[in-house]
Amino acid sequence: MPLALATSNGVPVEDRVYGSNPVGILTYSKSGYVTATITSTDPEDRPANLAFPYEDSQTGADWAQVGRHSIGYAGVMRISDAFPATLTTGQVIHGPLTVANIPSMVGTEARRNYTLYEDGKVLLIASQRDGGNRGELWWRRLD
Give tens-digit pLDDT for 31-76: 999 999 999 999 999 999 999 999 999 999 999 999 999 999 999 9
SS3 for the chain is: CCCEEEEECCEEECCCCCCCCCEEEEEECCCCEEEEEEECCCHHHCCCCCCCCCCCCCCHHHHHHHHHCEEEEEEEEEECCCCCCCCCEEEEEEEEEEEECCHHHCCCCEEEEEEEECCCCEEEEEEECHHHEEEEEEEECCC
Q: Which domain holds residue 8?
A: 4-140
pLDDT in the model for residue 51: 94
Question: Half-sphere exposure of 124 toward its Cβ, with a 13 Å CA cutoff?
Answer: 16
Gap between the Cα atoms of 73 and 40, Å rounded? 16
Handedness of CA 110, 116, 121, 122 (dihedral sign): negative
Q: 0.75 exceeded by the pTM?
A: yes
Mean pLDDT of the chain: 93
pLDDT in the model for residue 17: 86
**Number of residues assigned to the chain:** 143
pLDDT band at 1 (very low <50, low <70, confident <90, very high): low
Number of structural domains the chain divides into: 1
pLDDT band at 128 (very low <50, low <70, confident <90, very high): confident
